[in-house]
Homo-oligomer: A and B are copies of this chain.
């Protein structure tokens, strides 16, 4: 079950787009059969964005300078906007979005505690790295949604430009303080496992473990590769 956490020794032969910044650039993997129903997808994706928002705004609250608060503000606004647009999609289908979201609250709240970090820089690194993975994952998963809801969700999720400023704050601090860099490198490796478990829990398994694994493995391999690129971008060894 935890096979996806191991980095494959042999490179899996899937086409790789060249890394550009840390934006999502995945091969056309087929997650369609693994995508949950529309409402559970939306409920989970909406709560993930709310959690990202709350974590960024908490980091704003604890930021040491006004400049740092300002740098985080657009990322907070973007996560909140993603949340609200996903809730609007839920509301097009049912009257009570919170009932759709509720089943995912406990699990994601538990996850948040695990990846919160013990100080402001760990919190920032968590937000930047885990939100990157989660956005990538829910963007990929959206491919399996029926009708036009998939592309609409991709349009909502597939934007992480506002988090470049978070990377900027981290990168500066890491350059200034190698000890911090080494600590955050460990922390960055630490959070990826818990985050992939959250992703894994969102997948609708078909009941055939072998074919499920065959589909999941390359996707998670690519998600880890994108995570590694984000770590590299911060000057951290993944």
Contacts and interface: CB of A to CB of B under 8 A. Distances in A.
A69 B57 contact: no
A30 interface: no
A88 B76 CA distance: 17
A213 B175 CA distance: 53
A77 interface: yes
A50 B77 contact: no
A218 interface: no
A60 B70 contact: no
B66 A73 contact: no
Contact of A61 (B54, B77, B97): B54
A22 interface: no
A105 interface: yes
Q: Interface residues of A toward B: which range?
A: 20 to 34
A58 interface: yes
Nearest to A60: B54
B57 A98 contact: no
B54 A70 contact: no
A83 interface: yes
A237 B148 CA distance: 51
Contacts of A84: 73-74, 77
A96 to B, nearest CB: 8
Q: Which among A47, A77, A83, A84 has the highest number of chain B CB atoms within 10 Å? A: A77
B58 A70 contact: no
Interface in A104-162: 105
Nearest to A47: B66
- 10 smallest CB-CB distances across A and B, nearest first, come from A57-B57, A67-B98, A66-B98, A54-B61, A66-B101, A77-B80, A66-B102, A66-B105, A70-B98, A54-B60
21 contacts: A50-B69, A50-B73, A53-B57, A53-B60, A54-B57, A54-B60, A54-B61, A57-B60, A57-B61, A57-B76, A58-B61, A66-B101, A66-B102, A67-B98, A70-B98, A73-B80, A73-B83, A74-B84, A77-B80, A77-B81, A77-B84
